[in-house]
Chains A and B, each alone.
Chain A
Amino acid sequence: MQLLYPDDMPFIPNLTFKEEMLKELGIKDIDELFSDVPNEIKISGLNLPQGLSQMEVENRLRKIAKKNLPFPKFLSFLGGGIKPHYIPATVRALLARSEFYTAYTPYQPEVSQGFLQAMFEYQSMIAELTGMDVANSSLYDDATALGEAMRMAYRITRKNTILIPDNISWEKKEVLKNYIKGAGLKIINVPYNDETGTIDTDYLTKNVSSDTAAIYVENPNYFGIFEENVLEIAEIAHRVGALFVVGIDPLTLGIVKSPGDYEADVVIGEGRALGMSMNFGGSSLGIFACKKEYLRQMPGRIIGLTHDSDGNRAFCMTLQTREQHIRRGKATSNICTNEGLCALAAVIYLSTIGSRGLVELGKRNLEMGKLFARKICSLPWFKMKFKGSHFNEFVVRSSQNVEYLNKELLEKGIQIGLNLEKHYPELENSILFGITELYKEEDIDRLLTAIKEVYYV
């Protein structure tokens, strides 16, 4: 009924019964219900246009949408921890079940068993993939997960310094700074080896101390490189009683060891690749898992298995005494609303592809990364910046000006990778490329042809 006629106020059925209800309340005018609002601040309405019909809104949004160029119509090879991935139809279909997506946080377990079980399954899969004992049911994103992990390390160790490598996203570091400010933590920036792109372990050894709360390592790191010395780093951390915190890309975990296998204490990561669209960097999935001994210090919601009054299996939110609605100022974190539906997408995604699919997906991304790197470096203007083994992102050094190339390619509907120089001044004329299973070899060839056209004109 609100499809065509804007005069009908949508989603407010009682406008029809307003007079009747006012009468029952014994009042004449709805404004009497606002008599407690001082006259000085009362307004007569909002300075916004009248509501539109659904048809008008859809037409307007069609126009706005036309001003966006989505993948693959616009062929971007941007890395930076977010890339387009294939999303199985099962994920979309099941996420559209409104019993899931229109529900609130499962405070009433008796009518939320479905979502609770799915979250329990999500936690189980994340624990398995990361090699940790427990996982929470999501944080906002990987950057906030890193912030929470460092705060947690402080609560556990009561030490004040954290070692954070320079080969992570600059945005993540910015978020981290804000998360640790209140706890009074201090960051020691750890350089990376200019040749391999991996973290400088000598620097780590020299800079850990009895004041170190945690060492963070990302695997693969922002430059796409696998950190192969993780066992050594774990040892450096544990020697001084610090936590070893590892950031992962879940797509690698079918082919790469779980951080639990190399002695990580806390594992974080971004789960967007597990069935979510890029959405301009929107809704994300902060993965957070840890060893069981640190459970009580873990932030965020946790789902547990228990039983009902008849002794039947049941699920519910548990260990809520860590959380803000019980603990208030003393909570492990202020997080309340999380990214539940994204965690649901991840568990549906993982059950759709299975272990076999995860391994194949890892291989495919690894191989596409290698193919792409080989092809781009076959051009005379590019060479690999780092020697370390990389996954589906990598850095190349360009002999030419990156911004010029970027501008020329844009006109052909292509965007090369990310120009790193702005936030990593030591990486002059360096481009962070990304690719995934969703790209075809022809896409790479289209890029190569376009680059040649720019330089050979």
Chain B
Amino acid sequence: MYRMAVYNEPLLNGLPQIKDNTVDFELDGIPESLKRDKSPEIPDLDETQLIRHFFRLSQMNYGIENGMYPLGSCTMKYNPKISEEISRWEEFANIHPYQHFSTVQGTLRMMFELEEMLCKITGMDAFTLQPAAGAHGEFLGMLLTRAYHEFNGETQRQEVILPDTAHGTNPASAHMAGFTVIEIPSNSEGMVDVDTLDKVLSDKTACFMLTNPNTLGIFESNILEIAERVHDAGALLYYDGANLNAVMGKARPGDMGFDIVHLNLHKTFGTPHGGGGPGSGPVGVKKKLERFLPIPRVEKQGKQFILNYDFPNSVGKIKQFYGNIDVCLKAYVYILLMGGNGLKEASEVAVLNSNYMKKKLVDTGLYELPYKELRKHEFVLSCEKLKEKKGVRALDVTKRLLDYGFHPPTVYFPLIVKEALMIEPTECETKEDLDRYVEALVAIAEEDAEVVKEAPHKTVVKRVDETAAARNQVLTWKES
């Protein structure tokens, strides 16, 4: 029976303060106008107390090592211990980004080889590791798009098109780069409607952004036709790599006609999400866009690896230094472990696991599967029936899943599915766990509706009032 540890753990400033706080501020070397006259109010704690504090907090948190975590579009894989360990070696951790290149040949080689590996996996011609996350990669992709069209004298291309199934970051990134966003509706099969796309494509189109398979888990089978239409209109085709885990070793975005690709190393390549980050969002491009990539680029000159800043058409920089290189190192280790064969098996089994769960759940008749049947690594169910019959909403189902010791799927996304549950089991789960998860979802659908609507019951806190949080805006301990 699943139970979470519960502590009434005070805030750090509510723990016993142990140090004398009188500090001498007689200092030379600080201008009078800037001198402090009292210490900042940071708690002074005993080490045992502070270790207990954070240890207890960790026990009130659910990670991938606690159990299944099938968040759709998030690819919550196991994070290999060996990657964590290697990334902490001092040779990788204690090097300065401006050290002379001859003293960092190991890391430069790793970066160079990782870029090569990502090219081979995606079918792109060149990569940069600079973006810190997927959305950051999208933003860079939009800057590259702009640079490309400006270079070609087509400054009128100010529109970015995307389907209504797109991740929220897509329109936000396009908007940040100054583009106007046009959203097109999906067709009855949950895919891009090529004719609708055709109608909005014009000489104003800068780019069409697409996730393939899309967020319904459906592979856009018309991708070659889509690519042709987009390119005929003089626009670029952008690949949101959040769902790459479905197709490694089976198909490559580069072969599908995509011009720009971003990947999420913290999804597809087994690096941890860190409770929100750091991630890494490398961007790959076709030859025609290479000259615009951020500086510096890692290059091999003879036997040496160097950082080259000499790219006059480069968009410049989107982050200080070279990217979240520690995260890149973990992904590099992961790819070495898996190999080309392992990555392909990972995608195959991720898709198998997803279709297996999907069939079991749909066969119960309790949950519906809008749009076409065959899915890739994830699938989206609707709880609409459950809502009509028992007043149980998708949100209630997710909260009740917590009581079964599982992390719930992504909920209410994509927006075109009512009462959506977006499930991505990944290749890391056993058949037994998939079965247990299915059983839990079945049990919840058949349970007393009130129990489900009041869930969760066994977690650290009961259902959290998020509306009150937004209304009261208590955001620091001073305000609490």
Contact = CB atoms under 8 A, between A and B. Distances in A.
Interface stretch (B199-207, B266-274, B380-388): B266-274
Most chain A Cβ neighbours within 10 Å, of B25, B35, B138, B342: B342
Interface stretch (B86-94, B230-238, B442-450): B86-94
A2 B81 CA distance: 12
Interface string A98-127: 111111111111111111011011011101
B97 A66 contact: no
Interface stretch (A236-244, A340-348, A446-454): A340-348
Most chain B Cβ neighbours within 10 Å, of A181, A231, A284: A181
A362 to B, nearest CB: 9
Contact of A64 (B36, B55, B106): B106
A43 B44 contact: no
B462 A97 contact: no
Contacts, number: 674
A57 B336 CA distance: 7
Contacts of B174: 329
Contacts of B339: 6, 48-52
Contacts of A355: 19, 21, 23, 39-44
Contacts of B351: 30, 33-34
Interface string A1-35: 01000100111111101101110110000100111
A124 B13 contact: yes
Given A113-B461, A280-B96, A226 B31 contact: yes
Given A101-B275, A174-B316, A340-B277, A37 B251 contact: yes
Contact of B50 (A90, A102, A144): A90
A297 interface: no
Most chain B Cβ neighbours within 10 Å, of A35, A178, A390: A178
Q: For this complex, into which size category does the number of interface residues on chain B fall?
A: 35 or more
A45 B273 contact: no
B437 interface: no
Contacts of A14: 349, 352-353, 427, 429-431
B27 A134 contact: no
Contacts of B177: 181-182
Interface in A247-272: 253-258, 262
B466 A306 contact: yes
A83 interface: yes
Nearest to B111: A280
Contacts of A313: 461
B168 interface: yes
Interface residues of A, number: 196
Contact of A70 (B94, B328, B333): B94
Interface stretch (A73-81, A187-195, A204-212): A73-81
A226 B30 contact: yes
Nearest to A284: B320
Interface in B28-72: 28-36, 39-45, 47, 50-51, 53-66, 69, 71
Contacts of A97: 54-55, 58
A38 interface: yes
B323 interface: yes
B29 to A, nearest CB: 5
Contacts of B175: 182, 329-331, 334
Interface string A304-331: 1111111011111111110111111111
A8 to B, nearest CB: 9
B22 to A, nearest CB: 9
Most chain A Cβ neighbours within 10 Å, of B64, B94, B138: B94
A141 interface: yes
Interface string A264-296: 000000000000011111111000000010010
A42 B347 CA distance: 14
A257 B27 CA distance: 13
Given A94-B51, A178-B317, A359-B39, A34 B430 contact: no
A33 B340 contact: no
Contacts of B248: 46
B143 A306 contact: no
A405 interface: no
Contacts of A42: 250-251
Given A184-B178, A341-B274, A109 B34 contact: no
A151 B178 CA distance: 12
Interface in B72-94: 74, 76-80, 82, 84, 86-94
A444 interface: no
B162 to A, nearest CB: 9
Given A111-B407, A354-B19, A36 B319 contact: no
The 3 A-B pairs at the shortest CB distance, nearest first, are namely A281-B321, A51-B339, A340-B276
22 contacts: A12-B428, A36-B218, A36-B219, A43-B250, A48-B343, A64-B106, A70-B92, A120-B476, A121-B477, A171-B317, A175-B316, A175-B319, A254-B39, A281-B322, A283-B326, A301-B276, A304-B472, A324-B135, A344-B274, A351-B42, A355-B39, A366-B27
